Amino acid sequence: MNVAVDEPKCVAAGQCVLIAPEVFDQREEDGVVVLLDGTPDPVLHPVVRESALACPAAAIHVTTS
Amino acid sequence: MSRTVLVGASAGGLATAEALRRAGHQGEITLVGDEPHLPYDRPPLSKQILKGEWKPDRLALRGRADIDALDLDLRLGVRATGLDMAARTLLLADGTWLPYESLVVATGIRARPLPGAEQVAGVHTLRTLTDALALKARLSAGRRLVIVGAGFLGAEVAAVARGLGVDVTLLEADAVPMAQAVGEEPGWFLSQLHRDHGVRLRTGAAVSEVLSVGGEVAGVALADGSEMPADDVLVAIGSLPNTEWLAGSGLALGDGLVCDEFSAAAPGVYGVGDVACWHNPLFGTKMRVEHRTNAGEQALTVAHNLLNPDAPRPFAPVPYFWSDQYDTRVQAYGYLRDHDEALVLESDVTARQFLVAYRRGDRLTGVLAMGKSPKILRAWRALIASGAAWEAAVTDTAAA
C-alpha cells in the first residue's frame, strides 16, 4: 500500500490522526496533516483506508500495487 | 442479488458506497443524485471557489477511475420523488421505479429561501456549485453585497468578499450573531473580527422586503424603515432538510429524517449526513449535524449496520466543524447547541485567539477555538468523548 496526502486540500480536521495515529500526525501550527509512513504495515491497512474514507477533504490517497 | 439504493450523490452517499465496497459487499449499488455532477465537496464553495483559488474540477471527491472501480449503477441528474416502503421501491422523477433491499437516505439540505425574493436577479443562496459560480461571477471590488444572516456561512462569505474588495453589509436578526449556536461572548468576538475587516454589521435587523428594479435586486428594506442598497444579496438564513419526497412513505419526518441511535429510520432504511436527525447516545440527545465530517463518519457506521443488521453499532460521534474567517480558522468539537454555559477561557481579539468550553448540566459537551493548535483541541475532544465532568475538565485543562 502507498499512501499520499494532498496538503493544500487538508482542512486540519484531524480525523486521520484519531483513526490511524501510527500513520498520520498534524503540524503543530496549523494542524495540516503530516504523513508519518507512506508504506504502512499491512496490519494498518484497514485503519488507513478508514482514514481516507473519513477525511472530510478527500485529501488522503491510497493506492495498492 | 441484493440491491442497495443510495439516494443523494454527495459526500454521504459516496462514502456509504465506498464503505460498502471496502467491506466486501458484492451486491448491486445504485447511487441516485439530482445534480448532474459526480460527487463533489461543498465546504470549499464558500472558501476557495468563491475566492477564485480553485477551479471547480478541484472539488471532485474522487476521480472518475475511483468512481468506476466502485461498480455503481450511477443515476445522476435525476431526483427521487417518492418511496413505497411496503413494496420496497423508490420512484424517480424520470418515471423509473427502483426496487431496493436496503435504502440509504442522504439527500442533504437546501438553502432556506427568503420568501418573495426567489425570482429576483442578484439574489443568491449558496449550496451548490452552480450557486457558488453565480455568486463568484458577481463579486468584485466596489460592488455592494448585502448578506442576510450572520451564521457561519454568511460570515465566511463576508470574509471572502471583503478580501475581494467588496463592500459588505451583514444583517443579523438576533442581537448577537451566532449567539444561539456558540454563545454571546464568542458571538461578539466573531462580530468584532468582521467589523475590524470593514464589514458593516447590523444586528436586530429584520428584513421586510428585497427591493428590485426591473427584476434586478436594488437593495434590502428593513422593518425599521431603513434601506440598504445592494448590487447582490446573499440569503444565508439556514437550511431545510430535503425530505419532502418521503412524505406519506411512513417514515418519521421532523427536523429531517428521524433515525434511531443506529441511524436507522426503519428496517433496512438508514439516514446519512445533513438530512438525518438521529439519537446520539454520547450526548443523550437527538441531533442533526450539517458538518462535512459528520457525513463521512455516519456513512461508515451505516455501511456497517447495513451489512451487519444483527450486530449494529450505535452512531455516537463527537461532531466537528471548521470555518475559515479571514486568515484564521475556527474549529469546534462537540455539541455546542442547547448549552447551559459557554465559558470563555481565553479571548484576545488582537491576536485573533479564543477558546471557549461548553457545559450542559455538569458535563463538558463542546469546545470552540480560534487560532489554537489543533493538538490542544484533540485533548479537549478526548475529554468530550469520555463524557468528562465539567469542573474537572475546565480546571485541569485550563491549568495544563
Give which of A26, A53, A60, A64 to mutate to test B binding, by max B Cβ within 10 Å: A53
Give which of B49, B375, B383, B386 to mutate to test A binding, by max A Cβ within 10 Å: B375
Indicate whether B396 pLDDT > 80: no
C-alpha B273/C-alpha B124 separation (Å) is 24
Please state, as a whole number, how many other Cβ atoms lie within 10 Å of the Cβ of residue B77: 13
The answer, for B375 touching chain A at a CB cutoff of 8 Å, is yes
| Inter-chain residue contact B296 with A13, CB threshold 8 Å | no
Q: What is the DSSP string of B14-67?
A: HHHHHHHHHTT--SEEEEEESSSSPPB-SGGGGTHHHHTSS-GGGGBSS-HHHH
| Inter-chain residue contact B373 with A28, CB threshold 8 Å | yes
pLDDT, position B38: 95
Q: Which residue has the cell 433515525?
A: B259
**DSSP symbol at B111:** E
pLDDT, position B399: 52
Task: Find the closest chain A residue to B298 by CA distance.
Answer: A54
The two beta strands, B89-92 and B97-99, are antiparallel
Pairs across A and B, CB distance < 8 A? 59
Q: Which residues of B touch A54 (CB under 8 A)?
A: 15, 293, 296-297, 300
Average confidence (pLDDT) over B242-265: 97
Cross-strand pairs, B224: none
Average confidence (pLDDT) over B163-178: 96
Helix ranges (H only) for chain B are 11-22, 48-51, 64-69, 129-138, 152-163, 179-182, 184-196, 292-307, 374-385, 390-399
Average confidence (pLDDT) over A30-50: 94
| Inter-chain residue contact A57 with B293, CB threshold 8 Å | no
Please state, as a whole number, how many other Cβ atoms lie within 10 Å of the Cβ of residue B134: 15
C-alpha B172/C-alpha B151 separation (Å) is 8
CB of B107 closer than 8 Å to CB of B275: yes
C-alpha B263/C-alpha B257 separation (Å) is 10
pLDDT digits (tens, 9 = 90+) for B359-385: 999 999 999 999 888 888 888 999 999
| Inter-chain residue contact B22 with A53, CB threshold 8 Å | yes
Average confidence (pLDDT) over B79-108: 97
Indicate whether A31 pLDDT > 90: no
| Inter-chain residue contact B320 with A12, CB threshold 8 Å | no
Task: Find the closest chain A residue to B62 by CA distance.
Answer: A58
pLDDT, position A11: 87
Q: Which residues of A touch B43 (CB under 8 A)?
A: 11, 56-57
**DSSP symbol at B127:** S
| Nearest residue to B265 via CA among B291, B283, B243, B239 | B243
| Inter-chain residue contact A14 with B378, CB threshold 8 Å | yes
Indicate whether B215 pLDDT > 70: yes
Average confidence (pLDDT) over B256-266: 98
Q: Which secondary structure element, helix H or strand E, spans residue A16, and what is its range?
A: helix A15-19
Q: Which secondary structure element, helix H or strand E, spans residue A53, and what is its range?
A: helix A45-54
Indicate whether B1 pLDDT > 60: no
pLDDT, position B400: 54
Task: Report the SS3 class of residue B89.
Answer: strand
Distance from CA of A50 to the nearest CA of B (A): 8
Indicate whether B236 pLDDT > 90: yes
pLDDT, position B398: 58
| Inter-chain residue contact B331 with A50, CB threshold 8 Å | no
pLDDT digits (tens, 9 = 90+) for B40-70: 999 999 999 999 999 999 999 999 999 999 9
C-alpha B28/C-alpha B4 separation (Å) is 6
State the average pLDDT for chain B. 95
| Inter-chain residue contact B297 with A12, CB threshold 8 Å | no
pLDDT digits (tens, 9 = 90+) for B273-322: 999 999 999 999 999 999 999 999 999 999 999 999 999 999 999 999 99
pLDDT, position A20: 96
C-alpha B56/C-alpha B136 separation (Å) is 12
The answer, for B326 touching chain A at a CB cutoff of 8 Å, is no
The two beta strands, B363-370 and B328-334, are antiparallel
Task: Find the closest chain B residue to A12 by CA distance.
Answer: B374
CA atoms lying within 13 Å on the CB side of residue B315: 32
CB of B75 closer than 8 Å to CB of B33: yes
